[in-house]
C-alpha cells in the first residue's frame, strides 16, 4: 500500500512539472492560451494556498533580466506571476510583491545603505540619535551616527590603580565608588578645601614640646591608646570642600578632652565652623585654617551632636543657626538652642590662639605624645584618592596630573601617632598615622599612614596646635 502511495505522489509531481514547462513555452508563443491551461492546473494545486498565500517573490526570490523559470502561483487570481525584471514591461503578470520586495531589495543593497537603522552602536548595543551614555566622568552623545565624547581626566583611574598594585610601593590602591563619575578637577575642588597657608601662618615662630631631648620616644604610638575615649574618629566631609573646618574642629576637640582630663569629651562641630565662620563665607568652597582657629578662640564651637552636618551642603538655608554672647571675661555662652533639638547641651567650647610646632620629626612626635594630636597641611596628588592600606608615598605614574591642578591640592588632616613597619621592597619604614575626613570606608577605617621624616607630600611643613580655653569655674 505504502509503495503504491509513493508511486502516486511521484506521478503527480512529474505531471505538475511537465504542465508548468508546457505553460512557459506557451507564454512566449501564445500569451492568451495560458489562461485556459492555468485554470486546469489550479484545480490540482489549490491545497498550496494555505501555505504560500501572500508570499510570492519574497518566498522564491527575485531574478535579474528575463527568466521564465522565475515564476510562482498567484492563487488569489488563479494565475501564475513572475519575479524577473522582464515582467516590468508586462505589469499584468508581475507578482504583487514584486515592487515591494524585489525593488526594495536592490535599494537596500549593503553597498548603498547601512544595515543598521539611524543611531549609534556601542558594545554591540544600538542607541537612538541623541542618546547620552555616561562612562565614569565622561559622557558620550550619539549624533549623526557617531559618538561624540568629552575627554576629562577622571578622579578614578583604573590604570593608575593597576600601576600601583602591580608595583612594590608599600601601599595598595582601591577603586572607591564615592569617587566614581567625578573628574580629577572635581576631586581636588570638592574633596579637599584648605586654602594655601597664609604668610602669617608661615611666619609664626615654631614652638617645641617641654619634653627633654633625652626622653625616649617609642617606636609605636597612637593618641587613642594613651587617651582612650578622649580622641575622636574621622567624619565624612563628602563633597563639601571644608577639610579646613573638619581637621580644626577634630584637633580642638581632642586637645580640650586631654587638657580637661576627660571632663569635656564632646566632638566639636565642623558644621558650626562651615556655617558661622562669616568672614569671606567660604564654607564648602574652601577656607583657611588660621581663620578657623580665630573663630574657635573668639566665638567657639558647640558639639557635633548639637550642630550636626547638613545633608545638603548646597541648600540655600544653610545659614548660621547658632549665636553666643560674652560674659565679660572672654567666656561665651550660647543664646540659641541646638539646631538638633534632641541634644540639650549647647555649651560653647573655645581654644587659645594656635601655635606652630617645629617641623622637626622628633619635635612633632614629642608634641603629640605630650599634648595630643596636631593639625598638618599636606599636598594631595591624584593617587592619594585611591589609598587603601599601607604606608603612603606619592607614586609618579605615566598619567601624572598636569600643573593646572596645583592650586587645588592643599588639604588639612590630623596627625594622631606614628610607627615603624615593613614597607616598600621589604624595608622597615617610618610612618605617621593620620585621620582624614573622607569617612570610615576610605583608607584604614578613615585613617592613613604616610612616610615619616622625609616631608612626604609636605606633611611636616606646617604643623599647628592649640590649647583648650578652660577656667576653674568650668563645669561638665
What positions carry a catalytic annotation? 411, 436
SS (H, E, C) 316-352: CCCCCCCCEEECCCCCEEECCCCCCCCCCCCCCECEC
Give whole-number Cα distances, 43 to 16, 358, 390, 407, in Å: 12, 111, 90, 92
Sign of the alpha-carbon torsion through 79, 81, 86, 87: positive
Cα distance from N-terminal residue to C-terminal residue, the chain: 113
DSSP state of 139: E
- Taking the C-alpha atoms of residue 469 and residue 301, their distance in angstroms, rounded to an integer, is 12
Q: With beta carbons less than 8 A apart as the criterion, state whether 338 and 323 touch.
A: no
Concatenating the DSSP letter of every residue in 372-440 gives --EEEEEE--GGGGGEEEEEE-----TTPPPGGGGGG-EEEEEEEEEEEEE-GGG-EEEEEEEE-SB-T
SS3 95: coil
- In sequence order, the 6+-apart residues with CB closer than 8 A to the CB of 406 are none
Distance CA 327, CA 473 (A): 13
CB atoms under 10 Å from CB of 212, counted, come to 7
Is-contact 134 123, C-beta < 8 A? no
- Which set of grid coordinates corresponds to residue 425? 621592597
**Helices 243-259 and 361-371: angle between axes, nearest 10 degrees:** 60
Closest CA to 381 of 157, 176, 168, 177: 157
How do 374-379 and 463-465 pair as beta strands?
Answer: antiparallel
Q: How far apart are CA 45 and CA 138, in angstroms?
A: 64
Amino acid at each position: 500500500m505504502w509503495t503504491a502511495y509513493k508511486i502516486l505522489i511521484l506521478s503527480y509531481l512529474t505531471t505538475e512539472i511537465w504542465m508548468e514547462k508546457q505553460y512557459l513555452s506557451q507564454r512566449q508563443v501564445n500569451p492568451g492560451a495560458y489562461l485556459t491551461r492555468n485554470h486546469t492546473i489550479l484545480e490540482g494545486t489549490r491545497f498550496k494556498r494555505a501555505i504560500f498565500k501572500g508570499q510570492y517573490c519574497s518566498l522564491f526570490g527575485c531574478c535579474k533580466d528575463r527568466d521564465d523559470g522565475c515564476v510562482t502561483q498567484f492563487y488569489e487570481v488563479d494565475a501564475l506571476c513572475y519575479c524577473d525584471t522582464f515582467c516590468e514591461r508586462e505589469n499584468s503578470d508581475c507578482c504583487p510583491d514584486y515592487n515591494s520586495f524585489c525593488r526594495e531589495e536592490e535599494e537596500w543593497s549593503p553597498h548603498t545603505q547601512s544595515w543598521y537603522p539611524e543611531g549609534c552602536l556601542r558594545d554591540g548595543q544600538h542607541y537612538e540619535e541623541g542618546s547620552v551614555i555616561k562612562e565614569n566622568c565622561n559622557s558620550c552623545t550619539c549624533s549623526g551616527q557617531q559618538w561624540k565624547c568629552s575627554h576629562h581626566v577622571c578622579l578614578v583611574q583604573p590604570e593608575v590603580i593597576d600601576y600601583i598594585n602591580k608595583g612594590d610601593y608599600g601601599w595598595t590602591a582601591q577603586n572607591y565608588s564615592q569617587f566614581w563619575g567625578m573628574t580629577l578637577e572635581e576631586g581636588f575642588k570638592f574633596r579637599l578645601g584648605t586654602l594655601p597657608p597664609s604668610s602669617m601662618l608661615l611666619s609664626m615662630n615654631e614652638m617645641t614640646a617641654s619634653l627633654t631631648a633625652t626622653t625616649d620616644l617609642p617606636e609605636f604610638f597612637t593618641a587613642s591608646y594613651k587617651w582612650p575615649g578622649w580622641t575622636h574618629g574621622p567624619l565624612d566631609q563628602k563633597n563639601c570642600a571644608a577639610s579646613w573646618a573638619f581637621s580644626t574642629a577634630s584637633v580642638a576637640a581632642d586637645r580640650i578632652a586631654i587638657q580637661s582630663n576627660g571632663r569635656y569629651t564632646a566632638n566639636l562641630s565642623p558644621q558650626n565652623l562651615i556655617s558661622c565662620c562669616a568672614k569671606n563665607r567660604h564654607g564648602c568652597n574652601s577656607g583657611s585654617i588660621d581663620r578657623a582657629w580665630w573663630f574657635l578662640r573668639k566665638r567657639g564651637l558647640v558639639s557635633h551632636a548639637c550642630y550636626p552636618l547638613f545633608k545638603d551642603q548646597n541648600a540655600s538655608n544653610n545659614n548660621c543657626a547658632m549665636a553666643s554672647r560674652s560674659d565679660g571675661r572672654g567666656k561665651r555662652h550660647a543664646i540659641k538652642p541646638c539646631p538638633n533639638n534632641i541634644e540639650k547641651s549647647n555649651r560653647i567650647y573655645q581654644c587659645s590662639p594656635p601655635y606652630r610646632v617645629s617641623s622637626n620629626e622628633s619635635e612633632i612626635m614629642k608634641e603629640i605624645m605630650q599634648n595630643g594630636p596636631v593639625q598638618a597641611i599636606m599636598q594631595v596628588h591624584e593617587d592619594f584618592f585611591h589609598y587603601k592600606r599601607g604606608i603612603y608615598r606619592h607614586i609618579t605614574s605615566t598619567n601624572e596630573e598636569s600643573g593646572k591642578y596645583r592650586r587645588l591640592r592643599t588639604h588639612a588632616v590630623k596627625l594622631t601617632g606614628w610607627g615603624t613597619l615593613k614597607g616598600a621592597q621589604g624595608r622597615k619604614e617610618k610612618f605617621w598615622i593620620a585621620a582624614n575626613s573622607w569617612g570610615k570606608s576610605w583608607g584604614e577605617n578613615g585613617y592613613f599612614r604616610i612616610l615619616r621624616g622625609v616631608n612626604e607630600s609636605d606633611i611636616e611643613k606646617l604643623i599647628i596646635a592649640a590649647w583648650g580655653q578652660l577656667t576653674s569655674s568650668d563645669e561638665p
